[in-house]
Amino acid sequence: MMTADKGTQGVRRITYLALVIGVANLIVISLLAVQLNSINRAVQSSQGSSTTTTTYTNLTATGADLIPPTSFADAPVITTVQPAGQRLTDLNEPFNSTELAVINGAPDSYFQTAGEMFLNNSLTNLVGANVVKGPELVVNGKPSVVYLGANTCIYCGENRWAMALALGKFGTFGQLFKGYSSLQDGDLPTVYWAPSRYNVSSGIVFGSFYNSTSLSFVTMEYQSPITDPVQLPSLAFLQQQATQTGSFAYTYSVDMIGTLNLYTGTPYTVWGRYIVPSADAQDFGNSSTTSTRFPLANLTHDQVLAHLSHPNDQFSWTQYAAADLYVAMVCSSISSTPPVCQLSAIQQIEHELPQASGGVSQVAAGNTTTSSSSTMAP
Amino acid sequence: MIYRSPKYVVLSLAAAVVYYYLFAYFVSLENYGIVIYSEPAYMVYLLAVTASVLLTVTVYSLSLRLRRGIQTSSPGGFLASVTTVVGGCMAGCACQAPILYNLLYFFGLNAFEASGVVTTLVSYDFEINLALIVLNIVVAYRLLSKMTRIGGRRTTPPASAG
């Protein structure tokens, strides 16, 4: 009897020991996960807050802008009304003049208010990104904004609104198109720079309908089926496609992205001298961004534009604040000073950017600038 | 047999939940905070469940080894965690994949090479996660077979008994 009790006790102890070992196993792996994350952050930090200086070669390119088609036969406008989450309603439909005016004519006061909110930390949604000062691509004598994104990507989708608002302060969009992130990546309403080839298994749409006297806009949008999960573009494929365009602006852009080793996915943007390797905000609506169902996904394009034309909530102010960061980078990179660059909020944000070595330099290939990099956060 | 004991049922459920959150954690790391899967949700649940079963079987085999000296234990439990972590990293590869990219840069690849590797992995995302699920099942099955074989031999009463 005594032996049986001892045996039972022993078995119990061993079982508990086994359970503890199992749990410890989980904890160890979790710690490893955290460690891996730390390594990841350290690598990003070393790229983003280095005190050493790096010499970059600026690039200049000349040639006609790439104007994309206004429609694709294999990707017509979708007119079927569908519910949120499975919705491609109005996909590829061009913005009408009223809708374009929201982007092209956003008042400076909205940028100022949002900038103040960003600076005094009164925005709930996250605004900020690692900003690296890198080489500058000058296209046809103008500093460029380079965009590499994907038609299906959720971050590209939410960030294009801010990009469009920022670019609208330096020029005008002759055309914009209604789009979505993929059905399996949020199904967020977004703006496309050009119609999407949403049925192709793999492709790139180059160019936009943006006109500016102070900026060039070099856009590369990777295309994959809008109903599938997001696909990441391979830079080798992008390089091959860019070469086929015959445009130095595009081949140089891809070379620049490829040689800096900052690329971790899309969106990847360059604003004059500043590189932003990810979206500069997480603005998925008026609530937490960790949810798998984003408030923005329930809005139509018209509703998003209504928010942006009369900003009065976190979503719209965050979009303007995200645009402010981009505006500040451009203001810091161009020689002219459009009114938006004279806003106090923009000038304050400029001070948070990695310090520029001077005004814009329309230098020929081979000239160098000394650059440093830093992490910008609110 | 294992699941007759409430302890193992609890362990299995708890492990499934922990593995699910571990998976989601890695997805959020890859996506700058948001949890969005690049594969069907059932694959995520299947991976969490099979990993938890594998962990439970491993713990049970370990207890058998300690209790009866039967040499059945294996590093299966560790494998369960690894498959979850790898699965999480893969399923999190959406717009961004900072962990994978930074690891690849750390190992000396340039952006062109790294993007090639990540693009290839992402295009086989479903298949890779399916393989991880199958791996969990196969290892758990092998472990159970081994326990049944050895346990059966050990627990068979001698012919002279009784």
**A26–B59: do the CB atoms touch at under 8 Å?**
no
Residue A249 confidence (pLDDT):
93
* Chain pair A-B, CB pairs under 8 angstroms: 166
Burial class (CB in 10 A: 0-12, 13-18, 19+), A310: exposed
Residue B152 confidence (pLDDT):
56
- The residue-averaged pLDDT of A36-60 equals 59
What is the ipTM for the molecules in this complex?
0.78
Residues for chain B: how many in total?
162
**A232–B101: do the CB atoms touch at under 8 Å?**
no
Residue A177 pLDDT exceeds 50:
yes
Residue type, position A212, single letter: S
Question: What is the pLDDT of chain A when averaged over all its residues?
Answer: 83
Rounded Cα distance between A361 and A373, Å, is: 18
- Which is nearest to A123 in space by CA: A322, A351, A326? A322
- The residue-averaged pLDDT of A289-302 equals 79
pLDDT digits (tens, 9 = 90+) for A211-245: 999 999 999 999 999 998 888 889 999 999 999 99
Q: Which residues of B touch A229 (CB under 8 A)?
A: 38-39, 94, 125
Rounded Cα distance between B4 and B27, Å, is: 34
3 state SS of A270:
strand
Task: Looking at the complex, report in whole angstroms how far the Cα of residue B89 sits from the nearest Cα belonging to chain A.
Answer: 10
SS (HEC) of chain B: CHHHCHHHHHHHHHHHHHHHHHHHHHHHHHCCCCCCCCCCHHHHHHHHHHHHHHHHHHHHHHHHHHHHCCCCCCCHHHHHHHHHHHHHHHHCCCCECHHHHHHHHHCCCCHHHHHHHHHHHHHCHHHHHHHHHHHHHHHHHHHHHHHHHHHHHHHCCCCCCC
Ramachandran region, residue A221 (left: φ > 0; alpha: ψ -120 to 50; beta: rest): beta
pLDDT digits (tens, 9 = 90+) for A51-76: 456 667 778 888 888 899 999 999 99
**A185–B94: do the CB atoms touch at under 8 Å?**
yes
Residue A191 pLDDT exceeds 60:
yes
- Which is nearest to A95 in space by CA: A323, A304, A322? A304
Task: Looking at the complex, report in whole angstroms how far the Cα of residue B159 sits from the nearest Cα belonging to chain A.
Answer: 24
Q: Which residues of B touch A265 (CB under 8 A)?
A: 94-98, 101, 118
Whether B51 and B43 have beta carbons less than 8 Å apart is answered as no
Which sequence spans correspond to the domains of chain A?
Answer: 1-48, 49-376
pLDDT digits (tens, 9 = 90+) for B75-134: 666 777 787 778 777 777 778 888 889 889 999 999 999 999 998 888 888 898 899 999
Residue bearing the bigger pLDDT, A333 or B37 = A333
Interface of A with B in 23-82 (CB under 8 A): 25-26, 28-30, 32-33, 36-37, 39-40, 43-44
Residue A376 confidence (pLDDT):
44
Residue A86 confidence (pLDDT):
87
Pairing mode of beta strands A142-150, A216-223: parallel
**B94–A153: do the CB atoms touch at under 8 Å?**
yes
**A22–B55: do the CB atoms touch at under 8 Å?**
yes
**B125–A284: do the CB atoms touch at under 8 Å?**
no
Alpha-carbon distances, residue A117 vs A20, A114, A310 (angstroms): 49, 5, 16
- CA pseudo-torsion sign A30, A31, A32, A34: positive
Among candidates A186, A257, A265 on the partner chain, residue whose Cβ is nearest the Cβ of B36: A186
* Top-confidence range, A7-11, A219-223, B135-139, B145-149: A219-223
Q: Which residues of B touch A261 (CB under 8 A)?
A: 105, 110-111, 114
**B99–A267: do the CB atoms touch at under 8 Å?**
no
First to last CA, chain A: 70
Among candidates B35, B39, B85 on the partner chain, residue whose Cβ is nearest the Cβ of A290: B35
Among candidates B39, B95, B122 on the partner chain, residue whose Cβ is nearest the Cβ of A154: B95
**B93–A232: do the CB atoms touch at under 8 Å?**
yes
Rg of chain A (C-alpha set): 24
Q: Which of B5, B52, B95, B123 to mutate to test the interface with A (most CBs of A within 10 A)?
A: B95
Q: Which residues of A touch B78 (CB under 8 A)?
A: 25, 29
- The residue-averaged pLDDT of A87-109 equals 96
Residue A361 confidence (pLDDT):
24
Whether A217 and A145 have beta carbons less than 8 Å apart is answered as yes
Which residue in chain B is spatially nearest to A240 when comparing CA positions?
B112
Residue A356 pLDDT exceeds 50:
no
pLDDT > 70: what percent of chain B?
Answer: 85
Beta bridge partners of A172: A211
- The residue-averaged pLDDT of A172-189 equals 93
Instruction: Write out the two tokens for A232.
Output: 């990441």
**B38–A184: do the CB atoms touch at under 8 Å?**
yes
